[in-house]
Each structure stands twice: as structure tokens, then as C-alpha cells.
Chain A
Amino acid sequence: MSEGMIEFRKEFFADERDDTLKEIGRPTRRQDILGHVTGRSPFYDDHLFQGLLHMRCARSPHHAARIRRIDTAEAERSPGVVRVLTGRDVPLNLNTLLSLLDFGIDDEPLLSTDRVRYRGEPVAAVIAETEAQARAAAAKVRIEWDPLPHVLDVEEAIRPGAPAVLDVYPGNRFVYHGTYDHQKLRYGDVEAAFRAADHIVEGRYQMSPIEQAPIETCGAIAAPETNDRFVCYTSTQALFFSLATTAKVLQTPSSRLHFIGGTVGGGFGGKVDSVHEPLAVLGAMLTGRPVKFMWDREEEMQVGAPRGAERWYIKDGVMRDGRIVARKFTGYFDSGAYTRLTSYAVIKAVGHLPGPYTIPNVHADVSCVFTNRTPATAMRGFGITGVDFAIEAHMDKVAETVGMNPIDLRILNAYRDGDMKAHRRLAKNCALIECCQVVAEKAGVQLSNASRAASSRQGGGGDRALLPAYTALDQAGRVSGFEGGSYARKAARSRPAPQPVPPAPGPIGRRATTQPPPQSAPQRPRAAEPPPAAAATPPPPPPRQGPIRFSSLSGFRRR
């Protein structure tokens, strides 16, 4: 019988819960399920329009190429075609998704004009009366390409002399804080701990890209609404993110946009990139008619952003009793050809290390690397899934090395309430140990007495709450030519290089370092000018105004 059981282990943490609530905790039928079983749930495409037009893109067949010429004449003459869009139709044809959070440099065009950086990159958008006509016409867009050298492996991409994927990051790595080509985690002194360890366990782990593969593909339908506004029905996972991105790229006030969504046929992280809404709205603006832009399944798989590949190197220093005393990570996130969200995934991953374990010495260098492949984006477990795969596969190797039951090993090293974590915050509300115990019991795995007696609420804190007496710092991976300062304010000073002084032990929870507060996002390198915008001369980018700025990650500004 293939049914699985489900049980609620209410006895755990019962003293921390009030289980007498009325509506909370009930298996109430979903509000939307009647709509689902009657076919009435309104997904974005379940809206009918008179005169709906269909958009399909002409795309690059090359991993990297210069565009010598885009000739849309034959496509424009193709039956049913109403309009063909290219980059010069896009008011602000350069963006990065997280500019809304003031994080990163605009690096990606909506429709490329002079250069492509991945196979599938869109160059022209054909709008026609039927989808079949749009498809036929897109094949008639004539583009003259000069293929360029490309790079597909993350460690090759960061070697000197590798083809530069993006002009703004010539080393093929996102620049953090205007200072380093990776994000560091430094906690204690791993090298000293390795020297003192009984065992060293090393591993290399690779996760390939995968598709979010929702059954509903990404898409949007935009139409002129009353009062010179535009309605956009969208499959987005983030309504205002998409609206603000559209407002920015189309240089239109956000008040002119009316976005409707909320019922989506699966997302899993793949419906945040906001590429459909700007093109659909632009199409509606320029044709005066409703325009639908949707990925077919092939595009969803090979053009739509996947979960990016990750490569992790882990080195553990382990004592013979199974305590992990040092853990060193080198991680490479494959961002593909543009930044999108991977820059942020790296930070999330770093904040997660070394996993749910109390390890007194942790060191990590994690990079967002650019390669000539489909840009990556979020997917369920974003920033975490890949490194957790690596960590937990690695833990089994550690268990084998010390000859310990793998579950006992987890419990021994598990974090407990009050423990200091490698990102220098105290752990609380822990429950890893209890989860391990329940699984062992269900699976009939005999645990040690110590494991069976362990609790997340005991044994933590005390000495385990202290910051390390000394943390080894370094300047490796410094880059030059990127100014400190907010992305929005271009005139800030560069920050000085911090001095690697071993700090005095600080009180619990406070930073023990004496460094100046971190400054802001990378600026584009002063030496390099932004690449020329298009074949025709576009209007100069207007002074920054208008785009909704949600908050600011850029400089991780001081609160």
C-alpha cells in the first residue's frame, strides 16, 4: 500500500503552545478548491479579450555573440503581424531585478540590441493576430551574428583570460560591497583548527540546474484600460515587484499600471523575474490592443530561468569523538548571463552556513559567477537547497570517517538554544535534535544514550554562546574600480580597507570586530563606460526618479 501516514507529535514543545485555538489548527477546506475542481479559478490566461494579439520572440542561437544587424522587414510583412519590437522601442532597456532593492548594477536588456550572452536571449518581439502567425514571423527576423568566445564552467569563468560575460563585471563575478568578488564568512580560525583536528574530511558537490516546471507556464496579458491606464493579468509571484519593474523599464508612472494576479498555476520561484509584464504592457501601449506574451513549454525549460547550478567544496576538521571543530566552504553559484537574483542567493547561503550545527570555526567564500547560459533565478529552497545537499552528503562522509551512526553525529553537532552561530547571532527556537530523534525512532535506528537524552533546550549557551576569541580575516578577492556608495547616489567615497586586528572577546551577541560600518553597493567601474545602447540612438536615461524603491540592500546601510 502506497499511502503514507501522518501524525502530529504534540508532546514536543507542548509547554510553548496554546492548543485551544478555534480556527487555527483546523483542517478547513481551502477557499479556492471549489474553483479548482470546477475549472473556474481565474488564472491569468482565463480572461477573454476582443482582438487579442500574441507575442513571440526571436532569440539568440548562440551562447555569446555580437549583433551586427537586426532586420525586421520581412517579419513585419509577414501575414497577421501588427508590430515588431526591438530594443529601441524599450524606454529604459537596461535593468537588474534587484535595483528595486538598490542592490546591483543594471546589466540586462529587455530586448538585446548589440550583444547576446546566452542561447535563447530575446532580440525582437513579434506581435501578431494569432500565435501561429507570430511564431512564423519570429522565424523571419533576420539577425546577423558575430559569435564570440563563451564560457560555461564557473571555475573557468573566474580564471584570468576567460571571456567576459558582462562588461560591468569583467572578472565574471558579482562585486559585493564595492570591495570583494565574493561574500565572506569568517568566524574563528579554521586553519588552526584543522591543524588540531584528528581527521580532515573533504568533498566536492555539484547540483545541476533544474526547472521550476510549474504546469502553468509564465505569461502575462496586458491591455489598454480606461483613463490611459493599462491592465496586466499576470502569473507573477510578486505583484508589486513586477509592477515596479514594468514602471521602471517603460518609464511610466506606477499609477498608470493596474496589475491583477493572485491565482497562479504553480510558481516555485520561477515567476519572479518580471520579463513578461514589461513586454506585454509595451506591446499594448504601442499597438493599442490587448497583447499576450507567454512562454511555451520549450521556452519555459530552456529560456526561462532555472534554479542555478551550484558547486560546493567543503572541508571539515573533525575530532575522533565526532565533534566538527572547523568547516570551510568554497561555493560557486552559477548565475548564468545576468545577475537577476543570484547575487542575493549568495548572501542567503552565507547566512545559512555552516548548517544547523554549532561549529566553532567557520570560513566561507561564496561567489556569484557569470557564465554564458540561461540566467538563473529563484526556486524552492533558493540559496539553501544546493548547500544543504552538500552539507548533508558531507555529514555522512564525516560519520563514516569517525565510525559513528549518522544520526548520532547530527545530534552531537546540532545547534541548541543559546548557541552562537557563525553569522554572529544567537540560536533560538531550535528543533533539529527532536526531528532527528523522531525519525530515528520511526525507522528503528538505535541511537546512543546521549542522543536519546539530548534536547534543543538543554546544553546550549554558556561557553557555546561566546564569540570566538580570534577571527582570522583576510583581504583576498579585493577588486578595484568599484566605488563604494549607494547605487542611487553616485558620489560616495570609497571605504577604507579594514585592518585585520584580532578583536578582544566581546559581550555575548555583539560584534567583536572594530571595523567601520559596511558601505554600499558596487558602482560600475569608473574606467569602463556603459556599453553603447543601441543601433539607433535612444533617449539618454533620465535622472533617477519614480521607480518604486522598496528598501535598500545596496549598501546594507546602517539602520
Chain B
Amino acid sequence: MPKKPVTFMLNGAEQAAFADDGQNLLDLLRRGVGDLAPKYGCGQGGCGACTVLIDGVPHLSCLVLAETVDGRRIETASGLAGARLHPLQEAFMAHFAAQCGYCTPGMLMAAKALLDQNPRPSREEVVEAISGNLCRCTGYEPIIEAILSVANGGARA
């Protein structure tokens, strides 16, 4: 089966990989490129664990055909930290916004996309932004608080 070459930016660095016929982006990122941050939770677009940003917009990578990201700019949780952690990562840690951690990479990307577009969201806007990311552990409240704390420009007790 012929594989298609795909070249894209991943967390600021150029990546090249070969996509199988019908392969989805989640699988390409994890097994093709070795970025294990986005997770498989359902493969049906229902849980958000696979959320990545493509040109700044949240996408469910399990539903994105890998070959279609040629020339695009992809961000995953692996690239959130530079020399220092991203404020969202600091906030999630300070607010105990993760337990098993499996939804966290996708949740962070959804939150980042929101704050990049809307630096001071209301609680309702935060809720809306993460409504596609299922968490089975936390009950969501600590996650909402963590995101709001970044939106309000600092940690909140």
C-alpha cells in the first residue's frame, strides 16, 4: 500500500513522516513521529483525549486524516513548555487539576486554544471550551479553576 509523505510543523520544528492509506493524525503523531502526548480515548471523536491544535484551532486528531496536515502547523502538549512551563501547566499542577493524567494533554490544548483567542474568558466560556474533553477523575472543577487562574493573570487559592 503506497504511503504518502507528509511534512508539517510540530511544536515549532519541521517533521516529515509517511502516512498509511487512511491513517489518522493521532496514530501518525504517536507511532509515526513518536509524540506520545495526544492519547487514544475512543477513536470516535467523543472524548477529546486526542486534541491537538492545527493552525491554532483545536482538532480531534483521531478524526483527522494524517495526509491532510501537509504544510500545517501542529501543536501538542509536548510542545507547551519551552525553557519554562506554560502558565497552564503551572496552574494545572498548583490546582491539582489532574489525577490519572490521561485527559490532561488534550485538556491543556483546548485550554490553550481558548486563551490564545480569548485571554480573559468568563467561566461559561471556559466551560464551553473544554466541553469536548472528558475527564473521569476530577469532576472538572479543579480544571476550570486552573484555567480561570491563568485567565485572571495569576494563581487563585
Interface residues of chain A, those whose CB is within 8 Å of chain B, are 2-4, 29-30, 32-41, 43, 45-46, 48, 52, 130-132, 213-217, 263-266, 268, 294, 296-298
Contacts and interface: CB of A to CB of B under 8 A. Distances in A.
Contacts of A131: 27
Contact of B81 (A38, A130, A215, A266): A38
Nearest to B38: A39
Interface string B97-110: 01111111100100
Contacts, number: 110
B137 A266 contact: yes
Closest 8 CB pairs of A and B: A39-B37, A36-B101, A265-B102, A297-B42, A39-B77, A37-B89, A36-B98, A46-B36
Given A33-B93, A37-B77, A3 B141 contact: yes
Nearest to A268: B136
B39 A265 contact: yes
Q: Name B's interface SS.
A: loop
A132 B40 CA distance: 15
Contacts of B135: 215
Contact of B100 (A3, A4, A213, A214): A214
Contact of B20 (A130, A213, A215, A296): A130
B149 to A, nearest CB: 12
Given A33-B92, A37-B77, A297 B43 contact: yes
B71 interface: no
B63 interface: no
Contacts of A37: 77, 80, 85, 88-89, 92-93, 98, 101, 104, 108
Q: In this complex, which of B35, B38, B104, B108 has the most chain A Cβ atoms within 10 angstroms of its Cβ?
A: B104
Interface in B29-74: 30-31, 34-44, 46-47, 49
A43 B37 CA distance: 10
Contacts of A216: 39, 41, 100, 102
Contacts of A217: 40-42
Contacts of B81: 38
A43 B102 contact: yes
A214 B41 CA distance: 8
Contact of B136 (A41, A213, A296): A213
B130 to A, nearest CB: 13
A268 B100 CA distance: 11
Given A29-B93, A216-B100, A266-B100, A39 B78 contact: yes
Nearest to B41: A215
B123 interface: yes
B134 interface: yes
28 contacts: A3-B141, A3-B145, A30-B96, A36-B98, A36-B101, A36-B104, A37-B80, A37-B93, A38-B85, A39-B78, A43-B39, A43-B102, A131-B27, A214-B100, A215-B39, A215-B41, A215-B100, A215-B103, A215-B134, A215-B135, A216-B39, A216-B41, A216-B100, A265-B101, A265-B102, A266-B100, A266-B102, A294-B40
A38 B145 contact: no
Interface in B101-135: 101-105, 108, 123, 134-135
B22 interface: yes
Contacts of B30: 45
A263 B48 CA distance: 20
B39 A48 contact: no
Nearest to A42: B36
